[in-house]
Amino acid sequence: MNANAERHAVETRQLAKTYADPGKKGVVHALEGLDLECRYGEIYGLLGPNGAGKSTTLRILATMLAPSAGSALVDGVDVAREPLEVRRRIGFLSATTGLYQRLSPRETLQYFGALHGMPKERLEERIAELFDAFRMHDFADRRCEHLSSGQKQRTSIARAVLHDPPVLILDEPTTGLDILATGDMIEFIEARRDSRRCVLFSTHVLSEAERLCDRIGVIHRGRLLASGTLDELRAMTGETWLDGVFRALVKNAQGRAPAPFEEGAPA
């Protein structure tokens, strides 16, 4: 679309999410006035400690949660007003994404391709492309209930990108993958940039963020502390390595030394 050059792929303004907390007889502020912008042709990494609001942000953008206040647009579409249209324009993957256990990966992709209204011939071509990209041929016709965790994750990833959406929202996309499959996933994400897609993903694996991301946002207690290229974040904090950048930003926000960043920790 020509309009792509005039708008952001993902944009939030003063996005907020609160939850009731019966135990404390109050509310939990998962997000507080989050302003976020992600561009087409960009890989944007969202980093933060556990409970920072990363998954909440991604789930709101994927229309799985409703915001309490503020606004969020995905490919120019409001997530609260037109959730079905947003779902047509995104691929979403999280650690909790489930599979139909009695279907094989091939049947899974055929089923979801039909839901997306993909022409049969193009769907079969796309399935073949994804089986090649994620090395799925060996288990393509095995029921999902008999797959390993890594094979299930590859199937979930293929399902998320099947319809080649303009925006990919990935919550810890390499969780459960072995070294080869992780490499395939990273190469696939890199290729999305070349096709002018937007990839927004969260990760605790700093090497992935350093390799993949055009820009990085650090979120803490529901607020975006900083956003920019790695060089811009280095200049901002005076740190060289991404773990030092992360710790410096969180330390400044807390006013005290943060706990060590645990690479590979759950979101």
Question: Could you tell me which of 93, 159, 99 has the C-alpha nearest to residue 123?
Answer: 159
Name the residue among 86, 109, 104, 97 with its Cα closest to residue 158.
Answer: 109
Task: Give CA separation, 204 vs 138, 236, 256, in Å.
Answer: 30, 21, 21
Which of 166, 220, 180 minimizes the C-alpha distance to 31? 220
Q: Which residue has the tokens 């095995």?
A: 142
Q: Does residue 136 belong to any structural domain of this protein? A: no
Share of the chain above pLDDT 90, in %: 67
Q: What pLDDT is recorded for position 193?
A: 83
How many domains is the chain built from? 1
Residues 6 or more apart in contact with residue 2 via CB below 8 angstroms: none
149 assigned to some structural domain: no
The range of the structural domain enclosing residue 237 comes to 2-97+168-254
Question: Is residue 238 included in any domain, yes or no?
Answer: yes
The verdict on residue 121 lying in a domain is: no
Q: Which residue, 196, 134, 136, 135, is CA-closest to 165?
A: 196
Is 202 a domain residue?
A: yes
The predicted model gives 83-104 an average pLDDT of 90
Task: Please check whether residue 155 lies inside any domain of the structure.
Answer: no
Residue type, 23: G
125 part of a folded domain: no
Output the domain CATH number for residue 75.
3.40.50.300
Is residue 138 in some structural domain?
A: no
pTM for the model stands at 0.86
The mean per-residue pLDDT over the stretch 210-227 comes to: 94
Measured CA to CA, the distance from residue 212 to residue 193 in angstroms comes to: 10
pLDDT tens-place string over residues 41-79 = 999 999 998 889 999 999 999 999 999 999 999 999 999
Token output for 84? 């079905």
* pLDDT tens digits along 130-175: 999 889 999 999 999 999 888 898 899 899 999 999 999 999 888 7
